[in-house]
């Protein structure tokens, strides 16, 4: 296979960055969940029902 180093670098960087970002989101969500009462973890509330 030609250009193997470039392919490994391109795919590798992309998968590592996306995987790292996904992991960061999951961890951040877990730590925030602990700070919020259960009745306020309703992710898909109707728009604007929670303001003021």
Partner 1 sequence: MAGRDETPGTTGSRGSRLLGCVALASLGVLGVLAFVLTGPDVRIHPTTGEEFGQFDAVRMLYLHVPMAILMYASFLLCAVASVGVLVKRTPWWDVMAHSTAEVGTVLCGLVLVTGSIWGRPVWNTWWEWGDVRLMTTLVLFLLFAGYLALRGTTSDPRRQERQAAVVALVAVLDIPLVNRSVEWWENRTLHQRSTLEELKIEDLTLFTLMFGFLTFGLVVWWLTLQRFRVGWLERAAIDHAVGSAIAERRSETSAVELDAAIGVSDDPAGEESP
| Calpha distance 10→21 (Å, rounded) | 17
- Enter the DSSP assignment of 36: S
Task: Report, in Å, the least distance between residue 46 CB and partner 1.
Answer: 8
Q: How many CA atoms lie within 13 A of 10 on its CB side?
A: 5
Restricting to residues 1-30, which ones interact with partner 1 according to CB under 8 A?
1-4, 6-7, 9-11, 13-15, 17-18, 21-22, 25-26, 28-30
Tokens for 20, please give them: 């790292």
Binding residues for partner 1 (CB under 8 A): 1-4, 6-7, 9-11, 13-15, 17-18, 21-22, 25-26, 28-30, 32-38, 40-48, 50-51
């Amino acid at each position: 296979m030609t250009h193997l180093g470039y392919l490994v670098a391109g795919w590798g960087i992309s998968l590592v960055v996306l995987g790292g970002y996904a992991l960061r989101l999951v961890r951040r969500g877990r730590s925030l969940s602990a700070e919020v009462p259960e009745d306020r973890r309703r992710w898909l509330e109707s728009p604007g029902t929670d303001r003021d």
